[in-house]
Every structure is written in structure tokens, then in C-alpha cells.
Amino acid sequence: MAKEVTNREDNYSLWYNNLVIKADLAENSAVRGCMVIKPYGYAIWEKMQHTLDKMFKDTGHVNAYFPLFIPKSFFSKEAAHVEGFAKECAVVTHYRLRNSSDGKGIEVDPDAKLEEELIVRPTSETIIWNTYKNWIQSYRDLPILCNQWANVVRWEMRTRLFLRTAEFLWQEGHTAHATRGEAVEETMRIIHIYEDFAKNWLGIPVLVGLKTESERFAGALDTYCIEGLMQDGKALQVGTSHFLGQNFARAFDVQFTTKEGKLEYVWATSWGVSTRLMGALIMAHSDNNGLVLPPKIAPVQVVIVPIFKGEEELKAMLEKCGFIKQEIQKRGITVKIDDRDNLRSGFKFAEHELKGIPVRLALGPRDLQNGTIEVARRDTLEKQVLPQTDIADYVEKLLDEIQLNIYQKALKFRDDNSYIVDTYDDFKMQIEKGGFILAHWDGTLETEALIKEETKATIRCIPLEGDMEAGKCMVTGKPSKQRVVFARAY
């Protein structure tokens, strides 16, 4: 193998870190908790961005850009919001450095202290609603459907590449509406866009549901989420969409004149997905050979490897590879020829597997004679020798099949690891094995906190679909409207 990756079964956490580093996705930087996203990792992120961006635009959203910095006083305006975010903020206090007195370096210039400290945005509700105040006067100014692609900073103490970093990249949508109904509709529209994207692009089946009060976004009335199940049986929150009610409009005094001439506060939503999607993608599908990428999100979908000895053989081979590449490219598929002359084919194969390239075509001297080609698929690691004729058509269909297979495998894994549990004893036993547990809960913060303390499991969501039957809380026996989903989570 090109670069060794720890076995997933031996140490899942180390396997994940190994994979991120060795597949050249990202690495830790010299700045605590901040990562460098390497070109291959960034190329995957760009594919995610382009896809989501189109989905947002197709539903009437536009992009904009708001400042990186937020005046400290803005945070105090929404009480729940400040509680949620003040504890983990990077704070800018000065705007200049100077040569240090010992002449050996530079130091902060004490004369350049800001009158009011600036917070590096952990999320942008406050600065955006302060801006919307000037944009909104009448119902004719609504809705506002803005999104921004940006970096944000949350000073996390324990960080992990992609899953939890001090700085991360994300998109944050911030919409303003004339009615509660429209805002709720928008909140739902977005969570279903996220679901669609996770399922049909990333190949990750997700549960769509409502967060409990304790897991809600700081400042929201309702937080909807999509939750995925990783291969170690832990849940990962993949995206969230918040119905903010009139909280931020009140905090920043954003009112509008209705058609009827009345003055009312504006209704709001916000929603986001981040580079955490990269973590989800890696953990949901990869194996001990490396990444497994769904074709729709793979920067390189097909790699062609000529196997040759000497210049003469290479020349004939490259001509054939070039022809096949062209045929495949015509179908809108991204193909690369790996003709590096300093590496053995075995090494190359291992590297392509490590990087999760969905389809590998290999062409040896015998293939050249026989008009055949070896086709290897990354998801199942199966190989076949096929005639070169119609290989492009075959590859096109194969990519669709791989996309579907990756999803179905993940779906089967989730189904196999979802349990209906009725007693707290069973719950405690089951939670040790990982997976989603559907159980009844009495709806109180106390019971939720108790379960979390005793089992480290949290309520991932109150699902919107599936079994809606009422029952009794597994802990207190009090009435429960429907089963909720528990898991240990990232």
C-alpha cells in the first residue's frame, strides 16, 4: 500500500485521522485548532459548494457577504445567543503591532487598543440583523433570502480535523419574512434541501427531525437537523435549519409596515452546513483501504493507469488511453491518466484506492493486444476484464451504480443499527453497541439530562417521519407523544 492506514476495527478514531492526513484531505496547522484544507480535500469541498449553491439559487436565494468582525455589544442584544457563543470567541482587541523594545521581534502596540473589542464571527445573526434593519421598511422589501459562504471561528477546546475545528468554512443562510408561516416554510424547505443533498450526493441517509430545547441553536425557537450514522455507531449532526421567530428582529428592532399599514416585527430563519460535511463523508463510507467517494462528489471520477515497460510500449499505450479518456470525458465525466513513470502500478492502485477514486481502468500490454481493459470499482473492490468497445458507456452506468450502491450500503448499515427499545435497562445495554435507538421520552429537560449523564447518549432528534405512536417514557413512565432518536454523537 502507498501509505499505511490504521485498521478501522482496531482504532476508529486513529483510522479517521490517518485517512484525513494520508489521503491528503487536510492537516493541522501551526495555529491551535485551525486546519489546512489541502488541494484534494478542497476539491471535494468545492464540489459540495457548487452543488449546494445551485440548490439554494434554484430556490430563489442570493449570496452576499457580511463582515468578519462583530462588535462585542451586538452579542448582548439577544440573551440566549450570547449565552451560547460568548464562551468560545476569538476577540480582537488591538489593531497594530510595533517593534519590541528588545529589538528582537514584534509586540502588540498598547496605543492601538480598540475602543470596543471585535469578535471574530462564530455565526452572523447579530451583524446581519443589524444590517437588515436598514434594508427592511415595508412588506415589499420581504422576503430577503441571503446566503453567505464564509469562515467562522469557535474556540473549541478539543478539535478534530473537519469535525470540530476552531476555524471552519461554511455557508450560513439568513432569511427575513413577513409572516411566521413563510419563515417556517423556509426552515423546512432548507432542511429538505440538506436531506436531498446528503442522500443523493453524499450517499448518506439522514434522519430529519427537530432538536430538543437543550440542543437547540442559541436564539432559535425551533432547530431542525439532519443526523447521519457513522460506521462506529456514533451519530453526526450534518446540518441544521433554525426557525428564529422574531427574536433577532426584536433584539435589533427590525420592523416592517404590512400591506394593511401596521408595524410588525420581521420573522427569521438561519441555516448552515460546514466543512463538517467532509467528516461525515469520510466516516460514512470509507474502509481500511482509504476513502470511498460517491462519484457525484469525487473530484476525479475515473483514473486510467497504463501498465508499461519502456518508452516504446508507453507511447502506444498512451494513445489508446487518450482515446478512451476522450470517450469518457464526452459524457461529462472527470477522467485522469496516471502516467507517472517513477511508480509501480501496485503503488498507484493503492494510492487511487486511498483517495477514493470511484473507477480505475488499467491497460496492460496484453489488453492492448486483446482489445480489453481492466475495470476496478472502489466501493466493492471488484475487478473485471472487459472489451474496450463501449467501455465509456459501461463506465457511465457503473458510476451511477456505485453512487446508488454506496447509499444503499450506508442505508442498510443504518437500518441494521437502529433499535427500538422500551425499557431503560435495554437502552443502557444497547447504547454500548452504538447506533440509533428509538425510545419514548417524557419530554422533560430533567429526564434528558439524566439519560445523558448516565449513558452519554443525547436525543439526536424528534423525527418528522416514521412511527408516530404515543407511549410511555422508558425512564419515568410518563406519557410520550412519539419515539425520539437517541445516540452517542460527535
Distance CA 244, CA 327 (A): 51
Residues 282-301 that bind a second copy (CB under 8 A): none
Rg of the chain in Å (alpha carbons): 26
Contact pattern from residue 93 through residue 122 relative to a second copy, giving x for each residue in contact according to CB under 8 A and a dash for the rest = xxxxxxx----xxxxx--------xxxx--
Based on the shown chain and the rule CB under 8 A, indicate whether residue 170 belongs to the binding site for a second copy: no
Based on the shown chain and the rule CB under 8 A, indicate whether residue 55 belongs to the binding site for a second copy: no
Distance CA 28, CA 120 (A): 20
Length of the chain: 490
Among 23, 146, 244, 410, binds a second copy (CB under 8 A): 146
Based on the shown chain and the rule CB under 8 A, indicate whether residue 303 belongs to the binding site for a second copy: no
Prior bond of 110 cis (ω within 30°)? no
Which one, 132 or 441, has the nearer CB to a second copy? 132
Which one, 190 or 363, has the nearer CB to a second copy? 190
By three-state DSSP, how is residue 315 classified? Answer: helix
CA distances from 22 to 59, 159, 293, 296, 301 (A): 38, 18, 15, 22, 19
Q: Is 314 left (phi over 0), alpha (psi -120 to 50) or beta?
A: alpha
Residue 442 C-beta: closest distance to a second copy, Å: 32
459 forms bridges with which residues in the sheet?
A: 486
**Grid cell locating 113:** 487598543
φ and ψ at residue 468, rounded to 5 degrees: -110, 20
The residue count for binding a second copy (CB under 8 A) is 66
Residue 93 C-beta: closest distance to a second copy, Å: 5
Based on the shown chain and the rule CB under 8 A, indicate whether residue 167 belongs to the binding site for a second copy: yes
Contact pattern from residue 309 through residue 348 relative to a second copy, giving x for each residue in contact according to CB under 8 A and a dash for the rest = ---------------------------------x------
Which one, 89 or 293, has the nearer CB to a second copy? 89
Distance CA 195, CA 461 (A): 14
Residue 16 C-beta: closest distance to a second copy, Å: 20
Among 13, 14, 54, 62, binds a second copy (CB under 8 A): 62
**Cβ-contact 376, 362 below 8 angstroms:** yes
By three-state DSSP, how is residue 344 classified? Answer: coil
Based on the shown chain and the rule CB under 8 A, indicate whether residue 70 belongs to the binding site for a second copy: yes
Which one, 39 or 310, has the nearer CB to a second copy? 39
Based on the shown chain and the rule CB under 8 A, indicate whether residue 64 belongs to the binding site for a second copy: yes
**Cβ-contact 228, 204 below 8 angstroms:** yes
By three-state DSSP, how is residue 94 classified? Answer: strand
Which one, 281 or 361, has the nearer CB to a second copy? 281
Distance CA 219, CA 225 (A): 15
**Cβ-contact 247, 268 below 8 angstroms:** yes
Q: Which stretch binds a second copy (CB under 8 A): 63-71, 192-200, 368-376, 388-396?
A: 63-71
Based on the shown chain and the rule CB under 8 A, indicate whether residue 63 belongs to the binding site for a second copy: yes
What is the CB neighbour count within 10 angstroms for residue 388? 18
Cα–chain center distance at 348 = 29
Based on the shown chain and the rule CB under 8 A, indicate whether residue 162 belongs to the binding site for a second copy: no
Residue 301 C-beta: closest distance to a second copy, Å: 16
Which one, 97 or 470, has the nearer CB to a second copy? 97
Distance CA 51, CA 340 (A): 32
Residues 342-381 that bind a second copy (CB under 8 A): 342
Which one, 71 or 471, has the nearer CB to a second copy? 71
Among 3, 12, 43, 265, binds a second copy (CB under 8 A): 43
Residues near a second copy (CB under 8 A): 27, 29-31, 34-39, 42-43, 45-46, 62-76, 82, 86-99, 104-108, 117-120, 127, 130-131, 134, 140, 146, 150-151, 153, 155, 167, 169, 342
